[in-house]
Structures are given as C-alpha cells and as structure tokens.
Amino acid sequence: MVTYVFLAAAAVAVIFAILAVVPRNPMTNVFSLVVLFFSMAAVFAILGMDFLAAIQVIVYSGAILVLFLFVIMLLNIREVEPFGSGRRWQAVIGTLVAGGIGALILVIAGLLLPEQGSVLPGVADIGTAAPIGKALLSTHLFAFEFITLLLVASIVGAVYLGKRGDR
C-alpha cells in the first residue's frame, strides 16, 4: 500500500519536474514546481518525516514559490525563449551531461550500497517536531543561530539590491 503511494508520488514528481523545466511560460514552471513540492512532501511523510513534510509545504510552496510568483508578476515576464533554443550543440551536450550525472548517481548508489533490502521501521516518532526541535536547540544550536544570521544578511542584501536610486 505504502509502496503504491510512493510510486504515485514519485511519478507525479518526475512528470511535474519536467513540466517545471520544459514549458516556456514561467507561470507554468512555477505552478508545476508547487505540485512537485507537494509530492515531495508526500514522500517525506511516507518516510516518516512529518515535520519536514510540513516544512516543505509551508516554507517552499508557501514562501519561496510565492516570492518567485511575485517577481514574475512584478517584472511582467512573458515567455523569453523556447526550450533549448539557441545553440543545437548546447542542447545535445546539456542533455548528455544531465543523463550522465543521473546515471552516475544511480551507479554509485548501486555500487556503494548493494543491499536492496527494505528498511526496518526506525525509532518511533523520529520525524516529529519534538525530537527535531530538541536537537536544533541543543546539539545544533550554533548552526541554527548561524542560519538565522544568514537569513537576516540575505534579506538586508536583497533590500539593498532592490532599492532604487543612486548608490
């Protein structure tokens, strides 16, 4: 049962990842990415990571992609170029490189980890907010505080860049 749900989520993820890359209309790309992120949240939930599933929907679909939509509508971008237009060799080499990287990941994963067996159910409630929150505020406290500093710095940088006028 869970296996079928995973396969459905994976199929949706791959289809909408392609739809997020290929069509020339940026709005189509962004909304396909929303569906992709929802299916990835489903995969996280299947793996028992409830907190990450919620974060994926709230932060990615809710905040980051809204930022993308905002910029696309602000700049009034219509389609810029058809997919793969420009140089023919660029399209060929790009596809080959991407296929090679994907195949390489698959091969390395198969070589390093030959066991095909399924996973025993892990420790119960490993993916809920409570253990993750405890770890964030104890073991990983420095990294957690540092990421807040990074976010503040990036917001200040974005405001500075977006400011109109003489600099």
Q: Is 54 in the site for other proteins (CB under 8 A)?
A: no
Q: Is 40 in the site for other proteins (CB under 8 A)?
A: yes
From candidates 38, 42, 44, 61, binder to other proteins by CB under 8 A: 44
Site for other proteins in 5-34 (CB under 8 A): 6, 10, 13-14, 17-18, 20-21, 24, 26, 29-30, 33
Q: Is 116 in the site for other proteins (CB under 8 A)?
A: yes
Distance of CA 63 to the CA centre of its chain: 13
Q: Is 137 in the site for other proteins (CB under 8 A)?
A: no
Helix (H, G, I), strand (E, B) or coil at 58: helix
Distance of CA 37 to the CA centre of its chain: 6
Q: Is 106 in the site for other proteins (CB under 8 A)?
A: yes
- Sign, Cα dihedral of 50, 51, 55, 58: positive
Q: Is 46 in the site for other proteins (CB under 8 A)?
A: yes
Length of the chain: 167
